[in-house]
């Protein structure tokens, strides 16, 4: 038993060391995109119902560093601003599947072909899903929870204030805070889960069993697809698991099915779709993903057996010892993840009681650090609003502002995908 535990710890550390440099670099790239490409830019260019809007939604969604919980408020915002169901579905389809924070680790840990196919798959399935939903759905079926906000008369002089951006003193600091605070706090837990599962697979799953009973089975890919649905693993967390599956003998196509279905067909992801684009759109999405995922898996297996370039299709991870730099990166990565996870439990949320000149708002749909940051920036961007404090646990925000600014704040929150009201 002790020997098994020791081997588990070694495998966990080895794959953490191999992933850490590329995960840190990927998270940094994701932070750069998030800070330098404002969400208002994304919202501005994704309005409309036509095919071009669907293509733009999928193209913009592919590199964005958003997990499924981060996609929810952004998608709701697009819907409220008049984007069609097809455009919203295209964005929801492409965004959680890939991103710079996972593309680079997939390239280095698994193989280049996997990373490229995963990105191309996310782009084209986003377009295909959005196009089919536009054709059949025509925006008639929308879940009751999502209501498009009626256009209200604008108050003179308020629109520039609502569209103003937050004055940022230091973009470099903000990039690092987003990369290793907000982003790592959102997906760090599932990344640790992926590392733990990959270590269990390495120690407990015999390679002979996989080769004899799983690898050659015609049911391997459909079974992997079904097993992935109840899981909630982000696109970063599936990488170490996929690498270990590939090393144990599963085919590249079967591993690809898991890499796609894990983040994009989980129960929380389907619940999000049901809420945003309705029942019919959700079934269209699931059908497209099932057919395209299995077809891609079989096509990859056919390619892998015929290509002479082994480095394109074989796993780069083989349990080798880590260098000093990889060990250092692993310490930094696991330390940052642990810090972000633990601070949630040890943070003492101050009870927000409004004083003189302050307004307490009840804000809905805040589920992660990304949501906290978005609400803070949205309220801080309004001229006349200062000292914004957000209580994520209770879904509240306390601001120092005049009472007449309340309509502007509520409108801004609505546009940001977090409807609110005065508490």
Q: Are residues 288 and 377 in the same domain?
A: no
- Does the residue 349 lie in any domain? no
User: Cα separation of 255 and 214, whole Å?
Assistant: 12
CATH code for position 408: 3.30.70.100
Asked if residues 19 and 240 have their Cβ atoms less than 8 Å apart, the reply is yes
User: Cα separation of 112 and 104, whole Å?
Assistant: 9
- Does the residue 149 lie in any domain? yes
- Does the residue 353 lie in any domain? no
Mean pLDDT of 11-24: 86
Q: Are residues 284 and 221 in the same domain?
A: yes
Residues 6+ apart with CB under 8 A from 253: 221, 296, 297, 298, 299, 300, 301, 302, 304
State both tokens at 373. 């940051």
Q: Is the pLDDT of residue 315 over 60?
A: no
User: Cα separation of 171 and 116, whole Å?
Assistant: 30
Mean pLDDT of 280-302: 91
Asked if residues 278 and 240 have their Cβ atoms less than 8 Å apart, the reply is no
Q: Are residues 333 and 379 in the same domain?
A: no
pLDDT at 166: 43
**Tally of CA atoms within 13 A in the half-sphere of 145 that contains its CB:** 17
Residue 237: pLDDT band with limits 50, 70, 90 = confident
Q: Is the pLDDT of residue 340 over 80?
A: yes
Q: Provide the percentage of residues in the chain whose pLDDT is more than 90.
A: 11
Instruction: Decide: residue 53, CB within 10 A, 0-12 exposed, 13-18 middle, 19+ buried.
Output: buried
Residue 81: pLDDT band with limits 50, 70, 90 = low
Q: Are residues 206 and 93 in the same domain?
A: yes
- Does the residue 344 lie in any domain? no
Mean pLDDT of 23-31: 81
49-58 pLDDT per residue, tens: 688 888 988 9
Q: Which of 225, 266, 263 is CA-nearest to residue 101?
A: 263
SS3 of 421, please?
strand
Q: Are residues 180 and 300 in the same domain?
A: yes
User: Cα separation of 238 and 215, whole Å?
Assistant: 19
Of 159-168, 313-322, 368-377, least confident by mean pLDDT is 159-168
- Does the residue 351 lie in any domain? no
pLDDT at 238: 84
SS3 of 57, please?
helix
State both tokens at 352. 């927000």
Mean pLDDT of 333-356: 78
Q: Are residues 130 and 231 in the same domain?
A: yes
Please give the residue range of the domain that contains residue 400: 358-422
Domain count, the chain: 2
> Is 67 or 318 the better-scoring residue by pLDDT?
67
Q: Is the pLDDT of residue 59 over 60?
A: yes
Asked if residues 367 and 351 have their Cβ atoms less than 8 Å apart, the reply is no
Q: Is the pLDDT of residue 167 over 60?
A: no
Of 306, 337, 368, the residue that ends a domain is 337
């Amino acid at each position: 038993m002790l020997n098994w535990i020791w081997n588990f710890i070694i495998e966990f550390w080895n794959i953490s060391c191999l992933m850490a440099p590329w995960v840190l670099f990927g998270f940094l790239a994701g932070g750069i995109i998030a800070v330098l490409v404002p969400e208002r830019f994304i919202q501005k260019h994704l309005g409309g119902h036509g095919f071009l809007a669907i293509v733009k939604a999928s193209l913009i969604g592919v590199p964005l560093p958003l997990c499924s919980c981060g996609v929810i408020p952004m998608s709701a915002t697009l819907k409220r601003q008049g984007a069609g169901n097809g455009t919203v579905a295209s964005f929801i389809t492409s965004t959680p599947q890939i991103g710079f924070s996972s593309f680079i680790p997939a390239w280095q840990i698994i193989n280049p072909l996997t990373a490229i196919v995963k990105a191309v798959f996310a782009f084209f399935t986003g377009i295909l899903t959005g196009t089919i939903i536009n054709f059949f759905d025509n925006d008639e079926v929308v879940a009751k929870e999502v209501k498009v906000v009626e256009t209200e008369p604008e108050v003179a002089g308020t629109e520039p204030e609502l569209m103003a951006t937050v004055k940022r003193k230091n973009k470099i600091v903000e990039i690092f805070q987003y990369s290793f605070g907000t982003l790592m706090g959102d997906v760090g837990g599932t990344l640790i889960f992926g590392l733990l599962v990959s270590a269990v697979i390495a120690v407990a799953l015999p390679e002979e069993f996989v080769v004899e009973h799983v690898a050659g089975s015609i049911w391997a890919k459909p079974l992997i697809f079904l097993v992935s649905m109840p899981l909630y693993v982000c696109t970063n967390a599936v990488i170490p698991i996929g690498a270990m599956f590939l090393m144990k003998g599963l085919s590249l196509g079967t591993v690809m099915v898991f890499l796609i279905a894990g983040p994009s067909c989980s129960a929380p992801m389907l619940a999000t779709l049901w809420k945003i684009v309705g029942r019919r759109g959700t079934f269209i999405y699931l059908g497209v993903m099932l057919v395209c995922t299995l077809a891609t898996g079989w096509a990859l297996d056919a390619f892998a057996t015929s290509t002479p370039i082994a480095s394109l299709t074989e796993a780069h991870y083989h349990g080798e010892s880590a260098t000093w730099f990889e060990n250092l990166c692993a310490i930094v990565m696991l330390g940052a993840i642990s810090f972000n996870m633990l601070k949630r439990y040890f943070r003492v949320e101050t009870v927000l009681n409004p004083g003189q000149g302050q307004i307490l708002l009840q804000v809905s749909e805040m589920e992660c650090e990304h949501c906290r940051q978005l609400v803070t920036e949205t309220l801080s961007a309004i001229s006349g609003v200062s000292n914004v404090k957000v209580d994520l646990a209770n879904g509240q925000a306390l601001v120092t502002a005049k009472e007449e600014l309340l309509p502007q704040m509520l409108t801004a929150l609505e546009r940001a995908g977090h409807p609110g009201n005065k508490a």
